[in-house]
């Protein structure tokens, strides 16, 4: 699908927040090395617009709720997609999980400077907090953007999702190599109804795009043994 510009659909105040976010990322990246994408327009395109491609899915999901929806972003790095979505969806609640201290510090800087009251940033390892009562199967949506193979990412994310909720992950051309074991892993974790959604960012050539968004719906509880310790997740991937 050819992607429209979601930034252009934001309110003026939201666009100003995105501009401030981009400037903070550009400035702090000089000392923290947060991203290889450093030009403002590239940040808008490759970080912001790419993060916002899930907005139609999230809004459709929200339409069926009578409460504040919640999203947890696993391995959120510089705050993508979590902080970008928090700007776009002020009526959602966001939890951003990141293990690296400098990235957590940057996200907290953004949250404070932009006044994002709907975000909590936590420095933790996902496979550890996923077993805590306040986190396990309590979120409507879990996201992960372009980090790790599908079966590994699924095991780290799906235990956070409540029955009926969604798992969303951003992938590239390698998804075709991961989808077989990934589908098996997702089924083992309680997910089915998988959809593979190709997309193209606004202004890019569809013929050159390898972007994929994978959407899975959680239909049953995740067995208690998942997620395993990370060394086991990495060395003995589910579905293989």
Residue 226 lies in a domain: no
Residue 231 lies in a domain: no
Average pLDDT, the chain: 94
User: Containing domain of residue 202, as a range?
Assistant: 7-219
* pLDDT computed for residue 155 by the predictor: 98
- End-to-end CA separation in angstroms for the chain: 31
pTM (two decimals): 0.95
- Which residue from 150, 212, 156, 155 is spatially nearest to 179, judged by alpha carbons? 150
Tally of domains within the chain? 1
Burial-class residue 5 by CB neighbours within 10 Å (0-12, 13-18, 19+): middle
pLDDT digits (tens, 9 = 90+) for 209-239: 788 999 999 999 999 999 999 999 999 999 9
Residue 239 lies in a domain: no
Residue 237 lies in a domain: no
Instruction: Assign 200 to helix, strand or coil.
Output: strand
- Which residue from 10, 54, 27, 204 is spatially nearest to 142, judged by alpha carbons? 54
Residue 227 lies in a domain: no
* pLDDT computed for residue 2 by the predictor: 47
Residue 58 lies in a domain: yes
How would residue 158 be classed by pLDDT, with cut points 50, 70 and 90? Answer: very high
* pLDDT computed for residue 3 by the predictor: 64
Q: What is the average per-residue pLDDT within 194-208?
A: 80
Q: What is the average per-residue pLDDT within 162-189?
A: 93
Residue 229 lies in a domain: no
| From 14-18, 114-118, 170-174, 211-215, the region with the lowest mean pLDDT | 170-174
Asked if the model's pLDDT at residue 1 lies above 60, the reply is: no
CATH of the domain at 168: 3.40.50.150
Q: Strand pairing partners for 170?
A: 145, 213
Residue 43 lies in a domain: yes
pLDDT digits (tens, 9 = 90+) for 25-63: 999 999 999 999 999 999 999 999 999 999 999 999 999
Q: What is the average per-residue pLDDT within 133-161?
A: 95
């Amino acid at each position: 699908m050819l992607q429209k510009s979601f930034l252009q659909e934001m309110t003026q105040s939201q666009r100003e927040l995105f501009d401030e976010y981009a400037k903070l990322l550009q400035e702090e990246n000089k000392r923290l090395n947060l991203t290889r994408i450093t030009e403002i327009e590239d940040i808008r395109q490759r970080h912001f617009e790419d993060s916002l491609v899930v907005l139609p899915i999230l809004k459709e999901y929200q339409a069926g709720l009578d409460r504040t929806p919640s999203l947890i972003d696993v391995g959120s790095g510089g705050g993508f997609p979590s902080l970008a979505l928090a700007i776009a969806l002020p009526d959602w609640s966001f939890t951003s999980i990141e293990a690296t201290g400098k990235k957590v510090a940057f996200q907290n800087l953004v949250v404070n400077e932009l006044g994002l009251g709907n975000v909590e940033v936590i420095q933790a390892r996902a496979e550890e907090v996923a077993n805590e009562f306040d986190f396990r199967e309590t979120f409507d949506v879990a996201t992960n953007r372009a980090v790790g193979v599908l079966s590994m990412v699924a095991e780290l994310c799906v235990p956070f999702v409540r029955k009926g909720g969604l798992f969303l992950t951003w992938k590239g051309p390698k998804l075709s190599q991961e989808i077989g074991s990934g589908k098996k892993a997702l089924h083992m974790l309680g997910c089915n109804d998988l959809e593979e959604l190709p997309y193209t960012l606004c202004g890019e050539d569809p013929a050159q795009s390898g972007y994929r968004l994978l959407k899975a719906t959680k239909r049953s509880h995740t067995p208690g043994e998942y997620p395993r310790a990370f060394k086991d997740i990495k060395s003995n991937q589910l579905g293989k």
